[in-house]
Chains A and B, each alone.
Chain A
Amino acid sequence: MSSDESEKGTPAPGEEHSSAERPEPGLEPASREAPGGDERVVSGKARKGMFGVEGYGDTSGFGGLRLPAYTPPPAERPYGGWFDQVADELHAALTERGVPTEALQQVTVDRGEITFYVRREHLVDVCRTLRDDPALRFELCSSVSGVDYGPDVPQRLHSVYHLTSMTYRRRIRLEVCVDVADPHVPSVVGVYPTADWQEREAWDMFGIVYDGHPALTRILMPDDWDGHPQRKDYPLGGIPVEYKGAEIPPPDQRRAYS
Chain B
Amino acid sequence: MTTDTDRTPHHAQDHDGQPDPYASARETTEGRVYTVTGGDWDAVLEDATHDERIVINLGPQHPSTHGVLRLVLELEGETVTEARSVIGYLHTGIEKNTEYRNWTQGVTFVTRMDYLAPLFNETAYCLAVEKLLGVEAPRRAQVIRVLLMELNRISSHLVCLATGGMELGALTAMTSGFREREEVLHLLEFLTGLRMNHAFVRPGGVAQDLPEGYRERILDFIRVMDSRLPDYDKLLTGQTIWHKRLRGIGYLPLDGCLQLGITGPVLRSAGLPWDLRKVEPYLGYEEYEFDVPTATEADCFARYLLRVEEIHQSLRIVRQCLDKLEPGPVMVENKKIAWPARLTIGPDGLGNSLEHVRRIMGQSMEALIHHFKLVTEGFDVPAGQVYVPVESPRGELGYHVVSDGGTRPMRVHVREPSFVNLQAMPAMCEGGMVADVIAAVASLDPVMGGVDR
A interface residues, Cβ below 8 angstroms from B: 43-45, 47, 67, 70, 72, 110-113, 115, 139-143, 145-149, 160, 162, 166, 169, 171, 173, 192-194, 196-198, 201, 205, 218-222, 229-230, 251-252, 256-258
Contact = CB atoms under 8 A, between A and B. Distances in A.
A220 B91 contact: yes
Contacts of A162: 387, 398, 400, 415
A93 to B, nearest CB: 20
Contacts, number: 122
Contacts of A251: 100
B404 interface: yes
Interface string B392-435: 00001010101011111011010100011011000000000000
Contact of B400 (A139, A143, A220): A143
Contacts of B258: 139-140, 166
Given A44-B383, A111-B134, A193-B260, A258 B406 contact: yes
B169 interface: no
A175 to B, nearest CB: 9
Nearest to A254: B100
Contact of A110 (B93, B279, B384): B384
A72 B408 CA distance: 19
A3 to B, nearest CB: 32
A145 B404 contact: no
User: Which residue, A110, A139, A194, has most C-beta atoms of chain B within 10 A?
Assistant: A194
Contacts of A221: 88, 91
Given A162-B400, A221-B88, A70 B261 contact: no
Contact of B385 (A43, A47, A229, A258): A43
A142 B276 CA distance: 13
B376 interface: yes
A149 B398 contact: no
Given A197-B420, A198-B420, A258 B400 contact: no
A146 B411 CA distance: 9
A72 to B, nearest CB: 7
Contacts of B415: 142-143, 145, 162
B100 A141 contact: no
Contacts of B389: 142, 171
Interface in B366-403: 373, 376-377, 383-387, 389, 396, 398, 400, 402
Contacts of A192: 259, 261
B255 to A, nearest CB: 10
Nearest to B388: A113
B95 interface: yes
B452 interface: yes
B195 interface: no
25 contacts: A44-B405, A111-B131, A111-B134, A115-B385, A140-B258, A140-B263, A142-B396, A147-B411, A147-B413, A160-B413, A162-B415, A166-B272, A173-B387, A193-B260, A193-B423, A194-B262, A194-B420, A198-B419, A198-B420, A221-B91, A222-B88, A251-B100, A256-B408, A257-B377, A257-B407
Contacts of A67: 405
Contacts of B408: 256, 258
B409 to A, nearest CB: 11
B396 A45 contact: no
Interface string B262-287: 11000000001010000110000000
A72 B404 CA distance: 10
A141 B423 CA distance: 14
Contacts of A166: 258, 272, 274
Contacts of B404: 43-45, 70, 149
A197 B279 contact: no
B136 to A, nearest CB: 13
A70 B272 CA distance: 41
B100 A219 contact: no
A234 to B, nearest CB: 8
Nearest to A110: B384
A152 to B, nearest CB: 11
B174 interface: no
User: Which residue, A145, A205, A229, has most C-beta atoms of chain B within 10 A?
Assistant: A145
Nearest to B415: A143
B423 A194 contact: yes
B87 interface: yes
Nearest to A232: B99
Interface in B119-135: 131-132, 134
